[in-house]
C-alpha cells in the first residue's frame, strides 16, 4: 500500500509542469487605432449677408457764383444699410486660405445741410440736401485660421480691392433762417459715380455644420476712399465726399468641394468581452 501511494505522489509531481504547459488563455482583441482629422486643401464657395453701420467721413462742395470757395457741409449723415456678397476661395493649408469676393451694398440715404445766400429770398438761408448712394466692391482676401476648437475655427483676415460708388442726383432746397417756411425752388445736382480704393480687415469664426458646409460669423471693417458726389448747379457745386468707414456684422455659409477632413476625430476601442475561463488541453 505504501508503495502504491508513493508511486501516485511521484506521478502527480511529474504531471504538474505538463498541465501548466497545456494551460491556454485566448488572446485579447487589440484596441482600434486612434485617428485624427486629415486636413487637405480645396476650393469653396461662400455667400454672406451683413448689416452695415455707415460712417461718412465728411462732405464738401464749392460755393458761390463762380464756385471758388470750397466749404464743408455743416451736417451730413449717411443711413445704415445692408450688404450681400458672393465669393470663391481656396483652402491652401490647414491654416491659410484665400478668396475673391463681390459685395453689393443696398441704397443708403444721405441727409445734410449748408448755410449761405438765398436765391429769391433775402437774408441767410439754410439748405436741406437729400441724396442716396449704392455701391459694390470687388476684393481679394487672405485669412489665417488660428486653431481648431471642436466645431469652431476662429480666424483673422485682410483684403484689398476697389468699390464702385454711385450717387443719385442731389436735391437741394434752401429756406430762410428767419422764416423757415419761405424757401427757394429745389435745385437738382447731377449725381457722380466712380471706383474708389478699398481695404478691409476681418475677424470671426467658422462653425462646422457637416463635412462640406460651414457657417461663418464675423466682423469686417471696410475703408473706402473719397470721391466725386455731385455736379455744379445754381451757384453750388461740384461736391465730393471724403469716403466711408463701414463696420459690418456678417453671417454666411461656406461650401467646400473637398471633404477630406471628414475622418472622425476619434474611434472608440472595440468592446472587450468578459474574460474566458482557462482551457486545459
- CB crowding 62-82: b at 16 or more within 10 Å, else e: bbeeeeeeeeebeebebeebe
pTM of the model: 0.76
Here the cell at position 102 is 463681390
Which tens digit of pLDDT belongs to each residue from 153-181? 999 999 999 999 999 999 999 898 888 88
**Cβ count within 10 A of residue 159:** 22
CA distance 110 to 168: 10
CA distance 225 to 242: 7
Residue of 167, 113, 105, 94 whose CA lies nearest to 136: 105
Here the cell at position 108 is 443708403
CA-based torsion, 80, 81, 82, 85: positive or negative = negative
> For residues 139 and 98, is the Cβ–Cβ distance under 8 A?
no
> For residues 241 and 17, is the Cβ–Cβ distance under 8 A?
no
Q: Which residue has the cell 504538474?
A: 16
- Predicted pLDDT of residue 18: 47
- Residues 1-22 have a mean pLDDT of 49
Which string of DSSP letters, residue by residue, matches the chain?
Answer: -HHHHHHHHHHHHHHHHHHHHTEE-PPPPPPPPP-------EEEEEEEEEEEEEEE--EEEEETTTT-EEEE-SEEEE--EEEEEEEEEEE-SSSEEEEEEEEEEEEEEEEEE-EE--SSS-S-EEEEEEEEEEEEEEEEEEEEE---BTTEEEEEEEEEEEEEEEE-PEEEEEEESS-TT-BPPPEEE-B-EEEEEEEEEEEEEEEE-SSSEEEEEEEEEEEE--EEEE--BTTEEEEEE--EEEEEEEEEEEEES--TT-S-S--PPPPPPPPPPPEE-
- Residue that wins the pLDDT comparison between 34 and 30: 30
CATH classification for the domain delimited by 42-259, as one of 3.20.19.10, 3.40.50.720, 2.40.160.20, 3.40.50.12160: 2.40.160.20
Which tens digit of pLDDT belongs to each residue from 46-69? 999 999 999 999 999 988 765 578
CA distance 250 to 47: 10
CA distances from 264 to 132, 151, 210 (A): 52, 12, 12
Q: Which residue has the cell 478668396?
A: 99
Which tens digit of pLDDT belongs to each residue from 82-139? 999 999 999 999 999 999 999 999 999 999 998 877 777 777 888 899 999 999 999 9
Which tens digit of pLDDT belongs to each residue from 221-233? 999 999 999 999 8
Amino acid at each position: 500500500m505504501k508503495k502504491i501511494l508513493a508511486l501516485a505522489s511521484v506521478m502527480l509531481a511529474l504531471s504538474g509542469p505538463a498541465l501548466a504547459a497545456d494551460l491556454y488563455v485566448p488572446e485579447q482583441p487589440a484596441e482600434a487605432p486612434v485617428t485624427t482629422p486629415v486636413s487637405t486643401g480645396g476650393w469653396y464657395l461662400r455667400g454672406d449677408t451683413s448689416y452695415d453701420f455707415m460712417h461718412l467721413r465728411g462732405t464738401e462742395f464749392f460755393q458761390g457764383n463762380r464756385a471758388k470757395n470750397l466749404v464743408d457741409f455743416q451736417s451730413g449723415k449717411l443711413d445704415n444699410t445692408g450688404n450681400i456678397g458672393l465669393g470663391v476661395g481656396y483652402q491652401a493649408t490647414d491654416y491659410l486660405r484665400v478668396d475673391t469676393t463681390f459685395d453689393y451694398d443696398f441704397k443708403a440715404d444721405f441727409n445734410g445741410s449748408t448755410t449761405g445766400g438765398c436765391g429769391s429770398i433775402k437774408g441767410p438761408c439754410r439748405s436741406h440736401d437729400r441724396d442716396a448712394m449704392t455701391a459694390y466692391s470687388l476684393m481679394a482676401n487672405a485669412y489665417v485660421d488660428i486653431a481648431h476648437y471642436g466645431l469652431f475655427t476662429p480666424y483673422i483676415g485682410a483684403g484689398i480691392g476697389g468699390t464702385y460708388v454711385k450717387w443719385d442726383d442731389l436735391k437741394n432746397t434752401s429756406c430762410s433762417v428767419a422764416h423757415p417756411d419761405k424757401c427757394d425752388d429745389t435745385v437738382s445736382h447731377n449725381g457722380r459715380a466712380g471706383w474708389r480704393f478699398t481695404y478691409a480687415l476681418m475677424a470671426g469664426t467658422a462653425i462646422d455644420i457637416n463635412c462640406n458646409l460651414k457657417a461663418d460669423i464675423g466682423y469686417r471693417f471696410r475703408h473706402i476712399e473719397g470721391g466725386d458726389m455731385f455736379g455744379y448747379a445754381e451757384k453750388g457745386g461740384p461736391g465730393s465726399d471724403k469716403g466711408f468707414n463701414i463696420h459690418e456684422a456678417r453671417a454666411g455659409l461656406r461650401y467646400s468641394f473637398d471633404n477630406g477632413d471628414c475622418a472622425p476625430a476619434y474611434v472608440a476601442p472595440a468592446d472587450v468581452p468578459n474574460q474566458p475561463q482557462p482551457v486545459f488541453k
